[in-house]
Structure formats: C-alpha cells, structure tokens
Structure 1
C-alpha cells in the first residue's frame, strides 16, 4: 500500500478534525479547535492513501531545545502498517533539522514510542507551562494515566 506524507494546509482542517473525533471523544487525544489547528498548521504532518487522510501528528515546539509529539492518529483499518511509526520518524527528522535536542511524548502507547527510542521520564520533570497550557484542558486532569517519554536527538 502506497502512503504519501506531506505537510498540512488550511484546507485539511475539517478532514483532520473528523479523523481525530473518536479519539477526542474517548479522551485519548485532546480536542483542538479549528482556530487552534489553523494557528499551528505548520506543525502537522499528514499521511494519505490516495485522497484519503489516514493519519497525522504534530511537532509542537515548547522551547529552543524541546518539542512535543501531539495528536498522533492513524485511522482504524490502517493501524499496524507502520504509518504512525513513519509519521514519528518524519517529525524527528524535522526536529533535528530545526536544531531541537529533545522530543517529548505524553501517551497511552508507551511501547510504541519506546520502539522508536523514547524513554520514560517522570511527569514531574515536564515543563510547568505544558501542564497549565494543555493538561488542564484534558477531561482526565488531574488524574493522568499517560506516560511521559522523551527522545534525545
């Protein structure tokens, strides 16, 4: 199966929100408004099978040395085909090209990220602005079951 990857455009937003909606409703991924996605559109990398959007994720920069993987999603029926892995690899390449030193992930899929070289870190070591800017929006806050992992580049 041929999967094409490209950076997102504003025209992709509706399709992106539709793809991620089930994961948002279940509380696995934080909801991002249309405006929030538009503001951060340059952060997103998309995966397509033909004209069908089958996955995406974002590289969100926190500091001059630290970024975060956000909103990783692969459509049901396409999971297990290394699309998510390829999306993360593309984000890591982008992070390196920008001069970042570390990439963070908060996830329920610990083993997936560990296979890609991420290692678990205590949540207490996360930047404080991360907690107040994002985590407070989560329906699970303050009882967080996500694992924080980091990869040194």
Structure 2
C-alpha cells in the first residue's frame, strides 16, 4: 500500500467536492464552492492510497499567529489507516514552517483532535473574530455546538 501526500491543483476540485459531499450534507463540514476551493487551492493537502484520493484537509491562515484546520475528510473506504491524523500533522508541520503560533480546529471530533495534540478552549478565546464570518453559512448557525480546540506550536 502506497500512501502519498500532495498539493492538489484545480483539476482535483470536483473529486474533492464529491469526497466531502456527505459530510457537508450532514452539516459536519462547511460547503466550499468550486470558486472558493480554486481560490484557496494552495491551502489544501490531499492524501492518496495507491493513487486513489483517500482524503484531504486545508490549513487556512487567519493571521500571522493563527491558522485553522478546515475541511478534514477521509473516505470511509480508507478509515482506520490513521490518514486523518497524518493530514492534521501535515497542517501542524506546515504551520511551523510558516512560524505560526497556533492551529485552531472547530470540530465535533474532540477525542480525535486531542490525540493530535489539540486542547479544548472556549470559543470566546479565539482571538481573530473574522473566523466567525464563515459561521453564517453553517447549517447550525446561530446555535453552534462545535468544540474549539487549539494546538500550540
């Protein structure tokens, strides 16, 4: 089994949207349009297993100190291989390369992110309020039940 991490190009967007569709429909991940994904394509990392896209995530930089893990998804077919943890680690490594101070996650998967070295914080502790601009597009807005977690770099 060959596991490969790569930066996508715009030709990957349709497959990425297909892979994340169920999680978007369930309200677990925020919908990103084709144009939004194209605009931020450099923030994404894909993982492939034997040449098949198995998952992806994005590291969205909010400020000189804070970035966010976004759109983390692994295909049900490839779960159990710790690909999600490896994708999150790729975000942490990338955050270090950019000399960021913290990586944020707004999640329903508290124990998963604890395993990845994140700790829970109160949402009010999130320093950059522009993060909440996305929230208005969420199915759960204005009743947010996601857990805010950070990883200190």
TM-score by length of 2: 0.97
The alpha carbon displacement at 1:123 in A equals 0.7
Partner of 1:91: 91
Partner of 2:80: 80
> In structure 2, how many angstroms separate the alpha carbons of the residues matched to 1:152 and 1:35?
31
> In structure 1, how many angstroms separate the alpha carbons of the residues matched to 2:44 and 2:8?
6
- Note the residue ranges of structure 1 that are not aligned, 5 or more in a row: none
The alpha carbon displacement at 1:79 in A equals 1.1
Residue deviations 1:11-46 (CA, integer Å, cap 9, x gap): 100000000001001100000000000000000000
Residue deviations 1:38-65 (CA, integer Å, cap 9, x gap): 0000000001112311100000000001
Partner of 2:130: 129
Partner of 1:55: 55
> In structure 2, how many angstroms separate the alpha carbons of the residues matched to 1:2 and 1:50?
5
> In structure 1, how many angstroms separate the alpha carbons of the residues matched to 2:75 and 2:57?
12
TM-score by length of 1: 0.97
Let me know the Cα RMSD of the aligned residues: 0.8
Partner of 2:42: 42
Alignment of 1:1-150 (within 5 A): 1-126=1-126, 127-131=128-132, 133-150=133-150
Q: Alignment length, in residue pairs?
A: 152
Residue deviations 1:54-109 (CA, integer Å, cap 9, x gap): 10000000000100000000001211210000111111111100111100000000
After TM superposition, where is structure 1 displaced by more than 6 Å over at least 4 residues in a row? Answer: none
Residue deviations 1:116-153 (CA, integer Å, cap 9, x gap): 1100000112221111x211110101111110000100
> In structure 2, how many angstroms separate the alpha carbons of the residues matched to 1:11 and 1:51?
15
